[in-house]
Amino acid sequence: MTSTALMTDMYELTMVRAALHTGQAFHRTLFELFPRRLPSGRSYGVVGGTGRALEAIENFRFDDEQIDYLVGAGVADDMLAEYLASYRFTGNVTGYPEGELFFSGSPLLQVEGSFAEAVLLETLMLSIYNHDSAIASAASRMTMAAEGRPIQEFGARRTHEEAAVAAARAAWIAGFSGTSDLEAGRRWGLPVSGTAAHAFTMLYDTEEDAFRAQLEWLGADTTLLVDTYDIDAAIHKAVELTGGKLGGVRIDSGDLSTEVKHVRRLLDSLGARQTKIIVTNDLDEYQIAALRGAPVDGFGVGTSLVTGSGHPTCGFVYKMVARTLSDDPNAPMADVAKASTNKKTLGGRKFASRALDDQGVAQAEVIGINAAPRVGSNDRMLLTELVSDGTIVGAEPLQAARDRHEAARAELPLDAHRISNAEPAIPTIILDEQGHDLENVYQAGPAPQNI
């Protein structure tokens, strides 16, 4: 992996430039990355990006070419250039593990280190978490709506080519079965799938020629795309050519709920009872839910997945919440917060737990400021160690995140399964150091943006 260090807003560097001269660059600070609230209509969010963020921190190094650019562009002076040349993140990071759910105010990532080393990570951490969590959150709604039927991720063509690779990864964490994106398959070990497009059918003089070629060279268990010309004729031919052993048919157009019932009856009447029906026409969680009663064996989802199904970014922010008053690394940290209209932040280190009742059903996201909230016997602490003194300690296989997502989602109350105009599935309760409830701190105000 190449250096990630320049995927950073210029102001992170100019702040460090000034603070190096005054000495504040080395004061110890704590930054937190969190959502002020869930997107409207969503009952929960899914943490995506943790694994990618840890790799990005490891590769956050400024090479000579990058530093030459920064000096030439007037961004860095000599003192900053020297600092950047030896930059390594040496601090500590804690956070929600990947695949975990989040709610308003959940402290998803906590970066503790000198001001310089912590602030330089701001843009990149936000890019990764805002993108990957938006995709994971949308994907989770889709797998929930699919009720166990497999969903393939087919969205590469609808988003930036590198975003597509990350999107496939996030979708897999949230329960997708695989992806069409080969680089995602290679890079992350995801199952890949794909057979043929309409162009393949049109490449041959007849649909039958195309089917014969695909069946001969990809096998009878392939999935044939049957809607290039006439669906019924295509299905008759496909079943005939395979003696009823055809693996699957894909339908990519028309009114799917009507179409699939008709196709299922037709396949059955021709004896192709094992042939699966895969649908792929502009699906999202609402369409998938609407196909609950329909004989669909699998879904392919593209656009709506990679665009976060209406919420392409999460609106996470990265705020300094505490700092020392000197560059003595052992000095105690003081809470800090800003007071801007509608963009207040809560100072102090957050602790987080998910309160569960006796049946293991989630009741609340409990966030304590500067003190771990009292927890019941069944509650789960949510923060885990990710980086310790600059060493990555939180890396894990993707399967762990996938399993965690499934388990955490299963804890939600039934209301969380509502996909239209949903309310947050559980409330966020914020307790100060004395355990007093700070009501609704993160619930009000307009959607956040801070640049």
Residues 332 to 391 in contact with its own copies, rule: CB under 8 A: 336-343
Residue of 47, 109, 139, 156 interacting with its own copies (CB under 8 A): 156
Residue of 38, 238, 320, 431 interacting with its own copies (CB under 8 A): 320
d(CA 235, CA 243): 12
Residue of 64, 86, 148, 162 interacting with its own copies (CB under 8 A): 162
d(CA 381, CA 372): 9
3-class secondary structure, 94: strand
Contact 306, 164 (CB under 8 A): yes
Q: For residue 419, what are its two tokens?
A: 């996909």
Residue of 48, 107, 150, 302 interacting with its own copies (CB under 8 A): 302
d(CA 447, CA 343): 10
d(CA 110, CA 321): 10
Residues 183-202 that bind its own copies (CB under 8 A): 183, 185-186, 192-202
Find where tokens 């409207």 sit.
Answer: 40
Instruction: State the minimum distance, in angstroms, from the CB of residue 375 to its own copies.
Output: 31
Residues 110-139 that bind its own copies (CB under 8 A): 115, 119, 122-124, 126-128, 130-132
Q: For residue 230, what are its two tokens?
A: 């006439």
Binding segment toward its own copies, per CB under 8 A, in 35-43, 94-102, 152-160, 393-401: 152-160
Residues 41-100 that bind its own copies (CB under 8 A): 56, 66, 69-70, 73, 75, 77
Instruction: State the minimum distance, in angstroms, from the CB of residue 239 to its own copies.
Output: 19
Residue of 229, 232, 435, 437 interacting with its own copies (CB under 8 A): 229
Residues 240-269 that bind its own copies (CB under 8 A): 252-254
Binding segment toward its own copies, per CB under 8 A, in 86-94, 138-146, 275-283, 359-367: 275-283
- 181 binding its own copies? (CB under 8 A): yes
Find where tokens 């879904």 sit.
Answer: 299
3-class secondary structure, 344: coil
Instruction: State the minimum distance, in angstroms, from the CB of residue 429 to its own copies.
Output: 26
Binding segment toward its own copies, per CB under 8 A, in 141-149, 211-219, 361-369, 410-418: 211-219
Instruction: State the minimum distance, in angstroms, from the CB of residue 427 to its own copies.
Output: 25
Residue 140 or 180 having the CB closest to its own copies: 180
124 Cβ partners below 8 Å, 6+ apart? 4, 7, 8, 53, 56, 60
Instruction: State the minimum distance, in angstroms, from the CB of residue 433 to its own copies.
Output: 20
d(CA 165, CA 337): 36
Residue 82 or 216 having the CB closest to its own copies: 216
Residue 15 or 408 having the CB closest to its own copies: 15
Q: Considering only CA atoms, which of 286, 399, 312, 317 is closest in space to residue 135?
A: 312
CB neighbour class for 206 (10 Å; exposed up to 12, middle 13-18, buried from 19): exposed
Binding segment toward its own copies, per CB under 8 A, in 98-106, 319-327, 392-400, 436-444: 319-327
Q: What are phi and psi of 369, to 5 degrees?
A: -95, 120
Instruction: State the minimum distance, in angstroms, from the CB of residue 210 to its own copies.
Output: 9
Residue of 147, 161, 415, 433 interacting with its own copies (CB under 8 A): 161
Q: For the range 162-169, what are the long-range contacts, defined as Cβ-Cβ under 8 Å and sequence gap of 24 or more?
A: 163/131, 163/306, 164/306, 166/49, 166/52, 166/128, 166/131, 166/132, 166/135, 167/131, 167/132, 167/135, 167/305, 167/306, 169/48, 169/51, 169/52, 169/132, 169/398
Residue 182 or 361 having the CB closest to its own copies: 182
